[in-house]
Amino acid sequence: MTQVAVYGAYGHTGRFVVAELASRGYVPLAVGRDADKLRSLTGIEARQASADDPAALDRALAGAAAVINTAGPFATTAGPLVEAALRAGIPYIDVAAEIEANADTFAHYADRARADGAIVVPAMAFYGGLGDLLVTAVMGDWPSADEVHVAYGLSSWHPTGGTVASGVISGERRGGRRVRFTGGTLQYHDDALPTVSWPFPAPLGPQDVIAEFTMADVVTVPSHLHVPEVRTYMTAKAAADLYANAAAPTAVDSLGRSDQTFVIDVLIRRGDEERRVIAEGQDIYAITAPLAVEAVDRILTDRTKATGVLSAGAIFDAPDFLRALGSNLMVQAPGRSRA
């Protein structure tokens, strides 16, 4: 049986990942820094290791075929876990939504991972990974585009403690500034974020969104696609929940998912042509588990396109990957049009 390590296995997203691995026939190996929380996990092997202890990480990953890092803030865990995975000679996948942490992974490990023939996939999650797969799929035969717009229609956003902590770290790294991807580069600014209306399809319908509510897609998409403008949007209601530190998600079904629903509306423009794809599902944290585990499965069964530090759209067959998500995600392409 193939063992896959999950760093932060006792966290909200980590528990979804552990369950998904088990359902796919893998043997989850729980790894984390908190020994008491590790002991709360029953029925699986657990090994304690802090991200700042390389020797402990090496012992914890011994025998694992891959590692999935679900423990934020990724500004402090991604680097040490990537290093440990490279030493162990195993693939590394994380679910980081932190823009700076993802940019650091590409900047610091691309050459080394490529030289070693290693695989490192950051942001293999709802933010960053799923958007990148959708953009890659709808780009199709276009070698480039002028603009990518990714609008997130969340019914609500009850952030986990990890999400809040990661947001604090990102804010500190930016010195309180905001970030956008324009002119082919990440740029930091102090401009106010406007509220505009986005035409989500029925049944959600038009919604007020925060424009330039920038997510990890601004790192993953331009890492392999020729697009100088990548803009992301968030429904104003969900953004208000996040800023208010709304209560953590509450399970409403046997899978542990919350009642949160989401619509992702991707619009790509090239000249006067437009392409669009829409995805719908339930619970942004729960959907991260099939994304990350499908990635591991494809890596371990040699269904990849390259080695190195790669986004989801760069390493996987994006349309096939999206189809493999099955009942977890409904995807529809409304078609192509002239702007």
* Domain map (residue ranges) of the chain: 3-124+289-315, 126-283+327-338
In this predicted structure, what is the pLDDT of residue 336?
A: 59
Q: What tokens appear for 102 in the block? A: 């993802």
- Measuring CA to CA, how many Å separate 286 from each of 2, 111, 153, 220, 257? 23, 32, 16, 20, 6
Q: What tokens appear for 208 in the block? A: 């007020």
- Tell me the fold of 3-124+289-315: Rossmann fold (3.40.50)
In this predicted structure, what is the pLDDT of residue 28?
A: 98
In this predicted structure, what is the pLDDT of residue 247?
A: 76
In this predicted structure, what is the pLDDT of residue 335?
A: 61
Helices (H), 234-287: 236-243
What CA–CA distance (Å, rounded) separates 155 from 283? 10
How would you classify the pairing of strands 27-32 and 92-94?
unpaired
| 3-124+289-315 against 126-283+327-338: fold identical | no
In this predicted structure, what is the pLDDT of residue 142?
A: 97
In this predicted structure, what is the pLDDT of residue 191?
A: 93
Please list the rounded mean pLDDT of every run of 10 residues in the chain (339 residues): 97 97 98 96 96 98 98 96 98 97 97 97 98 97 97 93 86 90 95 95 93 96 98 95 80 94 97 97 97 98 98 98 95 70
H or E element in which residue 136 lies: helix 131-139
In this predicted structure, what is the pLDDT of residue 337?
A: 58
In this predicted structure, what is the pLDDT of residue 333?
A: 79
Instruction: Give CATH for domain 126-283+327-338.
Output: 3.30.360.10
